[in-house]
Structure 1
Amino acid sequence: MKDARLRIQSLIAAFILLALTALSAKAQETGAEFLSDLHDFRVNNYLALDAFYNFSATGDTETLNRIVVGINNSNDAMNSVVASTSGVLSEQQVEELNQAFDQFKNLMRGNINEVRDRGYPDLRLMADLANQALNMNNLATELYSVAQEGSGIKADTRIESARSAAVVMAQMMARYAARTHSSVSQTFQGASSEVPLDEQAKTFDQLLSSLRAGSTNGELKAALDDVASKWQFIRGSYINYNENNVGFVIDRYSKGIIEGLTNAIDLLRASA
């Protein structure tokens, strides 16, 4: 009888341990998805901003659709952040970011209407949009760090380098578009407190070096080699801005780099 009781107690203890392990794994998985959503949110906002700077000069429907795609993707990521049950951020922190995003969307809408109604952008509204994008990204980056700590997930250096590189590239691309495509590029060059393009380019150099430092083969090596090749092609344009550079080539290669980094992140996460 005593042996039977001991066996039952052992089975119960084992079941509880398995349940706790499963809950911990589920929490880590949820936390990982939360971080992924926050990352997607940051990148897509700058893709939308880049598209707007192009739209401010052309006013064409195709470019407007790119703005809509960027905002919609950010919206999807934000909705996932709000709906998350990971608990890695407080409701107040999530709501603060959500409100910042609402302000960004309102400013984007106002700027689009200005271009459609008048045929050219309003410099003050455009500056407000750029500054809001920067402030929102800074908040999202701060919350990303908080969420990473709260998730209990050990940070993967290469994944974090790839994500940071993608955000920096998206910021640089939008900044370059502000200088190249805007009809007011001589007086408007992005947010008032943004890091200069050449400094961001050097930061990207460091992040890419960190990303390529580990062992790579197969698809991951191909993805990173492609990113490095594209970066070498446009790096000089970011280091030494020249208004004679072909803006759409810089834009296309920058987007290709972001896509390559996104692919690398997926491959690294799959092998983690």
Structure 2
Amino acid sequence: MKDAHQRFRALTVALMLLLTASFTVKAQETELLSNLHDFRVNNFVALSAYYQFSATRATDVLNEVVAGINNANASLNAVTESEAGVFTDEQLATLTAQFDSFKALMRQNINDVRESGYPDLRLVSEMANQAQVLSDVSSDLYAIGRESLTSVTNPRIEAARQAAVLMARMMSKYSARSYSSVSQTFQGSDTEAALDEQALAFDALIDTLSAGDGNDEVKQVIDGVATKWMFIRGSYINFNEDNVPFIIDRYSKGILEGLEQAIAMLRTNA
């Protein structure tokens, strides 16, 4: 009887350790996705700020560029140091190398503006193209990370993350068009959808977010995002018309903040 009790106790302890390990791995994978998402958003935030800096040379805008790069760097470090074991060393090395190239180009373009007062259009073009390459690589890894999860991730969280990345991308493209009549042609690849098409895709993501169930606090945040979007939607749809760039920038950043707040709430309630 005593032996049976000891075996049962040992089995219980082993099961608890297995469950704990499973929960730990799941938490690591979930945090990995969160860090990779932040990395994707902050690269475009930094790029958007750079376009403004190239035209204004304002110190506060330069600080936004630096903050975006630093935040992306911190997120990448968290990804590469993760113990989730989702990505291979080669995949992480590729992502790091692409980011290093983006940072080097950003540093050079900032120095050009500070030293000569205007950007080197060739290097601006190269940086925009590198941002697209970096986005593609990080998007592929994010998809791999999602597939590695043992359970399906919350579709509203995924919609909010997709919306945040899309908004950051749209914001950088709009900044390129608004702050330089030349460098606007360098923002994004030839195969990238136009701003009005991206805006329609953003509509669909907001609809997905708004349609889901949730507590009143989550609903209030999502409604706030939708309201801000409706205020600037026409400017993204009719991007060739004269608009007020700083208003578009302010509301776009407000949308990003709202989406990140919604993501945090949805993760807590999951």
| Whole-angstrom distance in 1 between the partners of 2:144 and 2:224 | 32
What amino acid is the match of 2:178? T
In terms of mean alpha carbon deviation, does 34-43 or 175-184 score higher?
175-184
Residues 180-217 of structure 1, C-alpha deviations (whole Å, 9 max, x = no match): 012525x6351233221011101101111111111133
1:172 match: 170
1:235 match: 233
In terms of mean alpha carbon deviation, does 141-150 or 171-180 score higher?
141-150
Residues 17-67 of structure 1, C-alpha deviations (whole Å, 9 max, x = no match): 110000000100011100000000000000000000000101121111110
Q: Aligned to 2:242, what secondary structure does the other structure show?
A: coil
Residues 79-121 of structure 1, C-alpha deviations (whole Å, 9 max, x = no match): 1011111101111111110111000000101111111122111
Q: Aligned to 1:231, what secondary structure does the other structure show?
A: helix
In terms of mean alpha carbon deviation, does 50-59 or 237-246 score higher?
237-246
| Whole-angstrom distance in 2 between the partners of 1:228 and 1:151 | 30
| Whole-angstrom distance in 2 between the partners of 1:154 and 1:75 | 28
Asked if the contact 1:120–1:183 (Cα under 8 Å) also holds between the matched residues in 2, the reply is no
TM-score, normalising length: structure 1: 0.96
1:258 match: 256
Asked if the contact 2:222–2:262 (Cα under 8 Å) also holds between the matched residues in 1, the reply is yes
1:129 match: 127
What amino acid is the match of 1:18? M
What amino acid is the match of 2:221? A
Residue identity (%): 49
1:72 match: 70
| Whole-angstrom distance in 2 between the partners of 1:191 and 1:141 | 15
1:188 match: 185
Q: Does the alignment pair 1:94 with 2:113?
A: no
What amino acid is the match of 1:166? A
| Whole-angstrom distance in 2 between the partners of 1:216 and 1:27 | 27
| Whole-angstrom distance in 1 between the partners of 2:66 and 2:118 | 19
What amino acid is the match of 2:69? I
Asked if the contact 2:128–2:186 (Cα under 8 Å) also holds between the matched residues in 1, the reply is no
Q: Structure 2: which 5+ residue stretches go unaligned?
A: none
Q: Does the alignment pair 1:13 with 2:20?
A: no
Asked if the contact 1:57–1:183 (Cα under 8 Å) also holds between the matched residues in 2, the reply is no
| Whole-angstrom distance in 1 between the partners of 2:200 and 2:146 | 25
In structure 2, relative to structure 1, the CA distance for the partners of 1:36 and 1:168 (3 Å cut) is same
CA-atom RMSD in angstroms: 1.2
What amino acid is the match of 1:65? N
Please report how far the alpha carbon of residue 242 of structure 1 lies from its aligned counterpart in structure 2 after TM superposition. 3.4
What amino acid is the match of 1:83? E
| Whole-angstrom distance in 1 between the partners of 2:164 and 2:209 | 12
| Whole-angstrom distance in 2 between the partners of 1:75 and 1:63 | 19
| Whole-angstrom distance in 1 between the partners of 2:236 and 2:186 | 13
What amino acid is the match of 1:152? T
Q: Structure 1: which 5+ residue stretches go unaligned?
A: none
What amino acid is the match of 2:4? L
Matches within 5 A, 1:1-272: 3-182=1-180, 184-185=182-183, 188-193=185-190, 194-272=192-270
Q: Aligned to 2:185, what secondary structure does the other structure show?
A: coil
| Whole-angstrom distance in 2 between the partners of 1:25 and 1:65 | 39
Residue-pair matches, total: 269
| Whole-angstrom distance in 2 between the partners of 1:49 and 1:8 | 62
TM-score, normalising length: structure 2: 0.97
